[in-house]
Structure 1
Amino acid sequence: MMIAVGNTNIGGMYDLMQPGKTFTPADFWEPRGIKSWLDSDARGDVSGNSLVHDMLLKIVALIFGKGDGTVRSISVIFNMLTVWLMFFWSRKIYPKITWQIALLAFAVIEPFFVVYSQQARNYATSMFFATASNFFYWKLIYPKPEQGIKSKDLLGWILTSILALFSTYLTALVLVGQGIYALLNLRSKEIWTRLSIGAVIIIIPFLGWMTLGPGQYFLAYQADAGAQYLAYLNANGPIPGWIEAANFSNLLKRTVMILSDLFFWTNDLYAKQGYRFGGVALVLFGYGIYTWLKDFNPEKRRFYLFGLLQILLPILVLIATAINAGTTTGYFIRYAGFGLPFGIFISVGFMEYVFQKPIWIRLVAGLFVFIQAYFLVFAFLPLYQDKSQKYTSSTGRIKNPYIDIADKLRAQYTVGDTILYPSHVINFLNSKHLAGGSYSVADAQLVNLYLSPSDKFIQRIDTLRKDSVILKRKNGTEVLIFDFKQGKYRY
C-alpha cells in the first residue's frame, strides 16, 4: 500500500519526518515523479517484486478509495478468475460435466485460494497469471490438428507470462518448467520457432527491469535477509513454523506439508494426524498416481506429467535455496504453489480413475471425499471470525488501526494542535538497501496514507514515545488518540 498508493516505501521520507521537524499531509502527498517511485519500489519488500499488483492497488484505490475491503477485492477478483479459468480448461480435459463440476468444487473450497483471497498481497494475482500462462502454453504446443497454431494463443502466452513475472519473480520457475517440458517432448520446428520468438519478447522487459530497474536489488535483498534470518536463528534459536534450521528433518516436514496441500486427497492430513501419517499418505497417493498414469491414454498423461513438473520443480528449487541459506524461512507453499491448479486437476483425474473401480472401492473413496471436503471447509471458516487459521498466524485483530487513527484526528484536531507519532524501531530484518536508522517513521507514514493533502495537520515524530499517538493541544495538554500496546495492534 505504501509503495502502490503512497509512492514511498516503509522507512522512506526519512528526511521529511526526522525528529524535530514538522510536516503535514500535503508534504506527504507532494508529487515526486517517476524516479522517486522507482526508488521506493526498489527499496520496498523484495525490490519491485509486485509491480502488477501494486499498479492495480493504485488504480483501485484511486477510483474506489483506500479501505481494506476495496484493496483486498483485487485478490478476490483474481482468485475468481483463476477458478473460472480452471473450469474453462477442464472442459477441454474432461469430457463429462461430472468431473468438470468436481474440479470447480475442489477449487472453490481450496483453503489456499480462500485464505489468500482475503489478503491484499499479490499471491492471488500472480497465481492467475501463472495459470493463464500455462493454459496458453498448453494450447500453443498442442494445437487442434484442424486449427493449427493460433497467433492469439502465442500472444496470450507472451502477455500472461510477462504479467506473471511482474506479479512475482518466482513465477520465472513456471516458465522454466515450460522450457524443460518443451526440451523433453517437443519436436515441431514451427512450434519451437514460435516459442523462441515469444521467449525473447518475454525476457527483454523482465531483463531490463532486473538489471536497470528496481529488480536489480532483488538478489542483494534476498542474500541480506537470508543472512539476518540465519544470524537470528543462531543467536536466539528457532521460531517453530517460521525460522528453523534447514536440516533433513525440517525440510522433510516442510516438503510433506507443501506437497500434501497441493492435492485434495492429502490436503491437511499432516496437521490432523501428524507428519508421519501425512508422509505415508503422500507416498500412498504418489503410488496411486503412478499406477493411474502408467496405463493412461498418452494425450491426457502428458497433461498430468506437465502438471507434476510444474508442481515439483519449484519445490526442488526452494529446497536447494533453503539448504544454501541454512534456514527454512523461504520454504512455504505461497512460494511453491503456482502448480496448485494442476494439483486440483490431478486430484479430480485420480477421482475419476478411482470411481471406475469396483463398488466397494467407490464407496470408500466417496466417503473419504465427503469427509475431506468437510474438513477443508472448516480449515478456512475460522478466517471469518479472525481465529486461528491455515496459512496465517493473524488472530484477534481489531479493524485497521491507521484508518481509525486518521478518522479520530479529523474529528478532534484544531488549529494550533500538533500530532505526535511514536518511533517504534524494529531492527530485525531491516535490509541494508532499505532506509533505516535510529528512529522509525512507519506509524506516521501509515496514518498519512489515510489522510489527504487538504488536512492541514501539523505533525512530528517523538522518539521518546514507542506506542502512543498523541494529539498535543496548543495549551500543552495531551489527548491519547491510540496506543499500539507494544506492537500488538500494528499490522
Structure 2
Amino acid sequence: MILLLRKNILIILILVFAFFLRVYQSGSHGIYLDEKYTMVISQGIVMEGANQKDVFFAPSKTTFTPAEFWKPKSLDDFIEANIRGDIGNSPSYYVVLWLWMKIFGLSDFSARFPSVLASTLLVGLLFIFVKRHFKSTNLALLSAFLAAIEPFFVAYSHMARNYSMSFFLTLLATHVFLIIYERTKAGKKSAAYFVAYGLILALSLLSHYLTLTVFLCHGLFVLFYIRPFKRWIVYLATTLAGISIVSLWFIYGGGSYTFKTLAHQAKLYKDVALNNPTNNGYGEILPATLANVSQKSLPLFTDLFIFSNGLGQFKTLGIRNMALALFLGTAAVLMLHLFRRKQKLPLWVALLYPVLLIAGLPFFSVTNLQLVALAALPSFIYLLIISLGSKDADLPAPLLVFTLILSFVPTLFLIVMAFRNGHTYGITQRYSGFSFPYTVILIAFMIRQLSRLPLAFRGALAAVLCIQLFFVAKLLNDVYQDRAPKYTYFSITRQPNPYYVTAQKIKQLYAVGDTVVYPSRKLYFHDEIEKTYWPYSIQDAQLTNLYLPRDAKYVQRLDTTETDKIILTKPRGVKITLFDLQGKTYRY
C-alpha cells in the first residue's frame, strides 16, 4: 500500500515537472510564420484578406478600424481561411483553439497553452499506456519521465500548432486499439470501445492528415495478428466509419482543395529541388536521390531516441570521425556480448571496454563528446535488442512487433513519399513525431536492461548516458532561448511579438484625429490559393489588429510606398514610428 502511494506521488511529481518544462518560456518569443497562420485561421480570417475585401478593398474606402476588422465571421469564412492558410488541414485543432480563445482570450500565451496541456497529458497517458499494456508500474514511471524531458515534446508544446494535440490523440487511439484487441481475445464485448476508436480516428485525421501513418500501423497489426479473418470486418467497419466522418470535410469543407494543393506543391518542390535547391525561399530542398534522402532521414532516426539524439549530424560531427567512433564502438559491443553474463569481469575487460569508447578522442578532428556517445551507440542498440527479447521482459510478440512498427513506420512513410515525389521537403521530424511515445518505451526497456549489467559495463554506459543528458539539457536550454533550429527553426532568438508590442503602443498613444499607417509591400503569388484581391500585402495590418480591442474605432490605412514602418500619424503632420520591422528581421 505504501509502495503504491509512493508510485502515485511519483507520477504526480513527474506530471508537475513535465508541465513546468512545457509552460516555462512558452509565451516569451514572437509567433513565427506558421503560428501567424494559426492565429488568423482560428478566427476565420484569411491571411492577406481574401475574405476581408469589404474591410480593406471596398471602392472609395481608404481607411478601416478594428471594429470592421473584427466583424462576425461565418462558417464559410473559417473554411476559406483553412483552405488558403493550411490546405484544409487540422480543422479539429482550429475548432479547439477557437473555443479555447473564446474562453481565455486571444494572446500568444493563450494560443500556445492548449499545446502545453496536450503535451503534459501525453506524459500521463503514456504512464497509463505502459502500465496497462506492458504490466509494469516501474517501466511506466520511467517512460513518463523520459517523455517529460524529451526535447522534441517540449519544443512543440511551445507552438500554437496542431502537433502536440495530434501526438496525444494518436497515442490515445493506440491505447484504445490495444484494449479492443485484449478484450476481443478474452471474448468480451467491445462495442463502446470501437465507437470511441472510430471517433478518435476521425479527430486525429482532422488534427493532422499525417496521423494516417499511425492508423496504417494499426492496419498492419490487424493484418499480421488478428485471427480469424472474419474479425477483420468489425475493424474495417470502424475504420470506414471514422473515415466517412473525415470524408464530410473533404466533400463539403476545406479538405476539398487538399489533394489539388498537395499535387501542386509536390510539383513545385520537385521543380525547386531540380533547379534551385538552396536559395529558393523554402529552405534546402534536394532531389530525392539515395544520398540526399539518407542525409535528411538519418537525423530523424537518431533523434527519435534520447541516447542517440544529435548523433546523425554529418556536418557537425564529420563523416570520418563518425566512422572511427562506430568502428571502436563495434569492438566494444563485441566485448559486451561476450562478457555481459559474467558475474565478475576479467580486469582487462573492465579496463578495455571504457577505453575503447574514448579511444577516438585524440584522433577526432573536432572536440565533441557526442562522438563518445556515438561510440557507445552499438552497445545501446545491442542492449535494446536483448532487453526486448529477454525472459523477464515477458513481452507478447504481437505487442513487441507493434511497438517497433509504430516506432519506425511514420519515418519510413516520409522516405517513401520523398522518393515518390522526387524531393526531400517533407523529411522533417514533426511529420514523424507520432513515433516518439513508442521510442520512449523502447528506451525505458533499454535502461532497465542496462541496470542488470556487470558494474564495469554499467558504469561506462551510465557515464555516456550522462554525457547525452548534458547535451539534452543543452538542447532544452536552446529551445527555451529560441536557438534550436531543428526544433524551433531559429538559431537567433526571436524578440517579443512586434505586432503585440505595436498594438500596446497604439492603445497607449492613439487619440481622436490620429491615423495608424501600415506598410504594404508588393506581393508575388505562387499559386491561385495564395492569390488575393489586392497585389499588396495587408499582413502587418491584420496581425496588429489581432491584438487590438474588437470594438475600437482607431482609424487605420495602408501605405503601398512604405515597406517596413508602422507609423502613427498625428495632426499637423507629426509622425511617430511605432515599430520598424526592418525587412524580414521581425517578420520571422
Q: TM-score, normalised by structure 1?
A: 0.91
Q: CA deviation at 1:266?
A: 1.6
Match of 1:10 in 2: 47
Distance in 2 between residues matched to 1:445 and 1:373, nearest whole Å = 43
SS in 1 for 2:215: helix
Distance in 2 between residues matched to 1:288 and 1:185, nearest whole Å = 27
Residue pair 2:482, 2:488 contacting (<8 A) in 1 also: no
SS in 1 for 2:287: coil
Residue pair 1:43, 1:435 contacting (<8 A) in 2 also: no
1:422 to 497, 509, 519: 519
Match of 2:500 in 1: 403
Matched, 1:101 2:141: yes
SS in 2 for 1:482: strand
| 1:219-258 to 2 correspondences below 5 Å | 219-238=259-278, 242-258=284-300
Distance in 2 between residues matched to 1:286 and 1:203, nearest whole Å = 38
Match of 2:317 in 1: 273
Match of 2:65 in 1: 24
Q: Write the deviation string for residues 315-357 of structure 1: whole angstroms up to 9, x where unpaired.
A: 2221122223332111101001211111111111222234334
Q: CA deviation at 1:294?
A: 5.0
Amino acid at match of 1:11: E
Amino acid at match of 1:186: I
Amino acid at match of 1:365: L
Matched, 1:38 2:135: no
Distance in 2 between residues matched to 1:313 and 1:262, nearest whole Å = 12
Residue pair 1:304, 1:346 contacting (<8 A) in 2 also: no
Amino acid at match of 1:442: Q
| Runs of at least 5 residues in structure 1 that lack an aligned partner in the other structure | none
Residue pair 2:43, 2:78 contacting (<8 A) in 1 also: no
Matched, 1:320 2:392: no
1:369–1:241 CA distance, 2 compared to 1 (3 A):
farther
1:99–1:360 CA distance, 2 compared to 1 (3 A):
farther
Distance in 2 between residues matched to 1:438 and 1:177, nearest whole Å = 45
1:390–1:235 CA distance, 2 compared to 1 (3 A):
closer
Distance in 2 between residues matched to 1:140 and 1:96, nearest whole Å = 20
Distance in 1 between residues matched to 2:536 and 2:76, nearest whole Å = 25
SS in 2 for 1:269: coil
2:203 to 145, 158, 163: 163
Matched, 1:383 2:479: yes
Match of 1:481 in 2: 578
Q: TM-score, normalised by structure 2?
A: 0.77
Q: CA deviation at 1:415?
A: 2.0
Residue pair 1:439, 1:463 contacting (<8 A) in 2 also: yes
SS in 2 for 1:142: helix
Residue pair 1:221, 1:431 contacting (<8 A) in 2 also: no
Residue pair 1:311, 1:342 contacting (<8 A) in 2 also: yes
Q: CA deviation at 1:211?
A: 2.9
Distance in 2 between residues matched to 1:191 and 1:149, nearest whole Å = 13
Q: CA deviation at 1:142?
A: 2.3
Q: Write the deviation string for residues 370-401 of structure 1: whole angstroms up to 9, x where unpaired.
A: 33223212211122233345412323221111
Q: Write the deviation string for residues 213-268 of structure 1: whole angstroms up to 9, x where unpaired.
A: 11121122223233333444444442697423322222112221111111233222
Residue pair 1:238, 1:245 contacting (<8 A) in 2 also: no
Match of 2:469 in 1: 373
Q: CA RMSD in A?
A: 2.7
Matched, 1:89 2:129: yes
Distance in 2 between residues matched to 1:314 and 1:211, nearest whole Å = 27
| Runs of at least 5 residues in structure 2 that lack an aligned partner in the other structure | 1-37, 327-373
1:133–1:360 CA distance, 2 compared to 1 (3 A):
same
Matched, 1:112 2:208: no
1:126–1:184 CA distance, 2 compared to 1 (3 A):
same
SS in 2 for 1:88: helix
Distance in 2 between residues matched to 1:158 and 1:316, nearest whole Å = 25
SS in 2 for 1:469: strand
Moved more, 81-90 or 242-251: 242-251
Residue pair 1:246, 1:323 contacting (<8 A) in 2 also: yes
Residue pair 1:261, 1:268 contacting (<8 A) in 2 also: yes
Residue pair 1:419, 1:471 contacting (<8 A) in 2 also: yes
User: Which structure has the larger Rg?
Assistant: 2
Matched, 1:65 2:109: no
1:2–1:119 CA distance, 2 compared to 1 (3 A):
closer
SS in 1 for 2:255: helix
SS in 1 for 2:245: helix
1:306 to 402, 405, 416: 402
Distance in 1 between residues matched to 2:231 and 2:176, nearest whole Å = 13
| 1:354-365 to 2 correspondences below 5 Å | 354-365=450-461
* Alignment length (residue pairs): 489
Match of 2:28 in 1: none
Amino acid at match of 2:43: G
